[in-house]
Amino acid sequence: MEKASDLGGKWALVTGASRGIGAACAVSLAARGADVAVHYHESQEAAEGTAAQVEALGRRALLLKADLSQPSEIASLLEGFRSTSRQLDVLVLAAAATAFKEVEQIRPHHLAKTYNLVVGGMVQLVQGALPMIGPNGRVIAISGSGTDFTLPGYALLGSAKGAMEVFIRYLAQELGGRQITANCVSPGVIDTDSARFYAKDGYPQFAARVSAATAVGRVGSPADVAAAVTFLASPEAGYITGQVLVVDGGLGLSSGPFMPHDAAP
């Protein structure tokens, strides 16, 4: 079946599209025909690179800068989008930032930064975007495996992503009658700046341990996650809503003490 223009004539807005998973989503959606609003916060040059890839695919790209932890900047972002298009078909929420701390080290500013961006930003952006989203619209949020099991230093982001998953479930229920779906994609460990930041100087060892514990034997790529996002954005996924699609290569299948002997880290 021809897939190249499934999303032709549609507009996608991807947050955190300057780098990593968000950037891959923007390019993947454009490859299926969507015009893409490329949101970024500080990485303007990288965002311009994403926009250039979208345009190289023959699609329109709109650059939008905003700190999504700040309500006034979210309002400006939405206004910027509306000045180009009154219709939004696919909203992808990929932006995130946190401090990887154990619970006793978490301070109020860490809490504010993570929750204002991941939870508050999501709610405000969805509320502001919904009037532009019609039937067959899609809301797709990137959560993470820290909601299903514990990861060192991950309480803050994991709990914020837990709130995200529950919010998206409610959204799916409320929007179903308008034929709008809402889902999460939950990546395992994906080779991006944030995974390298999490592992600090030990990324190669971390990646080797993760690969050994992953059924398919490797760390994920941003394109692996973008493929799932693009599927959920497609017309074929119109009957899937309120779900969390895990994209982790089988990392969540393993349990430390029961790993195969030759795969033990």
Ligand X SMILES: NC(=O)c1ccc[n+]([C@@H]2O[C@H](COP(=O)([O-])OP(=O)(O)OC[C@H]3O[C@@H](n4cnc5c(N)ncnc54)[C@H](OP(=O)(O)O)[C@@H]3O)[C@@H](O)[C@H]2O)c1
Q: Which residues bind ligand X (CB under 6 A)?
A: 16, 18-22, 40-43, 67-69, 94-97, 117, 142, 144, 187, 189-190, 192-195
In sign, the C-alpha dihedral spanning 7, 28, 18, 55 is negative
Closest separation between CB of residue 1 and ligand X, Å? Answer: 29
- Given 161, 170, 198, 200, which residue is catalytic? 161
Kindly tell me which of 65 and 136 has the beta carbon lying closer to ligand X: 65
Tokens of 77: 């972002």
Could you confirm whether 203 is annotated as catalytic? no
Could you confirm whether 101 is annotated as catalytic? no
Closest separation between CB of residue 185 and ligand X, Å? Answer: 8
3-state secondary structure at position 39: strand
Looking at the DSSP bridge assignments, the partners of residue 187 are 247
- Given 10, 40, 115, 154, which residue is catalytic? 154
* DSSP code for 169: H
Kindly tell me which of 5 and 150 has the beta carbon lying closer to ligand X: 150
Q: Are 12 and 60 in contact (CB under 8 A)?
A: no
Closest separation between CB of residue 135 and ligand X, Å? Answer: 27
Closest separation between CB of residue 58 and ligand X, Å? Answer: 24
- Position of minimal CB gap to ligand X: 20
Kindly tell me which of 106 and 238 has the beta carbon lying closer to ligand X: 106
Half-sphere exposure of residue 170: CA atoms within 13 angstroms, side-chain side: 7
82: left (phi over 0), alpha (psi -120 to 50) or beta: alpha
Q: Are 250 and 199 in contact (CB under 8 A)?
A: no
Kindly tell me which of 192 and 241 has the beta carbon lying closer to ligand X: 192
Please identify every residue annotated as catalytic.
Answer: 154, 161
